[in-house]
Structure 1
């Protein structure tokens, strides 16, 4: 199976990061000198993905502007005899073929909605990658985590995949937890238990919403009920239903899961990536010592 397309969901309001997300889209908050979403794009491109579809909020076009040509900036830099600076910016538009789908206020809230809205881009594919736009799958050696996901999918022979990280027992009630079955030495998804009661979790594998899905999910979403408590349409419910129809391989990332959707997670992401940068870490270490960190 050759997977060439991916979806990045980037239509949320980023309420955990207010007030900065009042004006800056959460996926565009910088980690060092790149927005979070650019790390995701780089990971996808390394994995051989050539077409990336963003589902964005109809009122927020920052991602669209970031990955499209900026002729005004180009002209300005040329006038200032700084045309060389645009070469780095130009690379952004050339990383992949980008498409943008708008999510409107009339669309239901929830993580399954972006997948449904992008149906026309993926309905004729064997499978496609789905990532949430506010966390980074990070490997210090530069290995693409999506590439590892694709390799694991191929090893298992499954048509779909869901990604989970191991969490301490006392934190399992905060996550969607996988109930798995084993076949031929691999784990497959049987069920997803959303925020289980303490002591009742079927495993310590917490969902981190990175998937390889098949077009079967579009019919599933069409028949899916909105959660009565939250009023949202959850992709976890979609994937649980998919697992009843097809094998969904369970994958645990090799790298570090950097959740940039809240302040401490974003701070951890900056420090983690800066630590591996030889041009930054020596000075960063001095600064941390100076402030008695």
Structure 2
């Protein structure tokens, strides 16, 4: 059983400037919870017991503060006689201020470190051990299932059944959107789909499949040597985890999991707005008023 997850949140959030001068994009709200919390919630429900956040050195305290007991607020609510009313919101995952069921760790990615989506995985190595498989998520997107399906649990089940050395999560996208993503080149064997390669943002009409990589992974410790020895991207100078996954797939079986839910990329302003609308539209306390507002405001 996979018990550890790495969540990367060390980017600069340039697409959200100027607000990301004061708050990490992963902490921007989807309704009344930060983006990253939807990922954490799925991990805990899937049986993850330890989550490692890799954060930017100038902003790491924001994430840490959110996942730490807020003692002064708790005491204020007790004094006002409102603690029972709000205690479930203080303990978002049904725990005693998070501590009883889940361990949170925080790693600072320094500005002087190598940069790119592979580096947080390398930095988390000291907490991951040499034999454990682990999950990797970006902190600004998530998969939403209105039926309550847990995609993280499904990822783990497929990985265990396939006996692979890695897993890449994809979603199916229409032809006219494939040029926006890294698209999987796959092969099928023994009832499983395996990764051969990832083609980054193919020209229209040239995509090898309709499976778009959404950067949610499972890795074994083999990935650490790959990251340590891989070359940076020639154009950006960054070290991408997609390159790491592709190199791993050339050496070992890396299975492909196709998610059923709706992929919500909240890493840009429009995507963040859409994510809020999708989640609100599935909230029984909000959806009717939201729909009425949209009809009235936009004359639908």
Q: Judge same fold: TM > 0.5, yes or no.
A: yes
Q: 1:8 maps to what in 2? A: 7
Shift, 1:169, TM fit: 2.2
Shift, 1:281, TM fit: 1.0
Q: 1:79 maps to what in 2? A: 79
Q: 1:163 maps to what in 2? A: 169
Q: 1:40 maps to what in 2? A: 39
Please tell me whether residue 88 in structure 1 is matched to residue 60 in structure 2: no
Bigger drift between 219-228 and 148-157 goes to: 148-157
Bigger drift between 116-125 and 127-136 goes to: 116-125
Shift, 1:197, TM fit: 3.1
Deviations 1:141-193 (A, max 9, x none): 21211011112223323232101112222332222111111101221001112
Correspondences of 1:251-290 after superposition (within 5 Å): 251-290=257-296
Q: 1:27 maps to what in 2? A: 26
CA distance in 2, matches of 1:203, 1:288: 36
CA distance in 2, matches of 1:97, 1:276: 30
Q: 2:118 aligns with which of 97, 112, 119?
A: 112
Deviations 1:92-138 (A, max 9, x none): 54152100000010112210010001011113343100010001111
Helix, strand or coil at the partner of 2:47: coil
Preserved CA contact (<8 Å) 2:171 2:260: no
Shift, 1:36, TM fit: 0.7
CA distance in 2, matches of 1:125, 1:91: 31
Q: What TM-score does the superposition give when structure 2 sets the normalisation length? A: 0.93
CA distance in 1, matches of 2:87, 2:109: 31
- Structure 2 segments unaligned to the other structure (5+ residues): none
Correspondences of 1:75-154 after superposition (within 5 Å): 75-84=75-84, 85-91=86-92, 93-94=97-98, 96-154=102-160
Q: 2:196 maps to what in 1? A: 190
Q: 1:172 aligns with which of 171, 178, 185?
A: 178
CA distance in 1, matches of 2:285, 2:102: 28
Helix, strand or coil at the partner of 2:83: coil
Q: What TM-score does the superposition give when structure 1 sets the normalisation length? A: 0.95
Bigger drift between 96-105 and 69-78 goes to: 69-78
Shift, 1:43, TM fit: 0.5
Preserved CA contact (<8 Å) 2:5 2:134: yes
CA distance in 1, matches of 2:72, 2:293: 37
Helix, strand or coil at the partner of 1:251: strand
Shift, 1:211, TM fit: 0.2
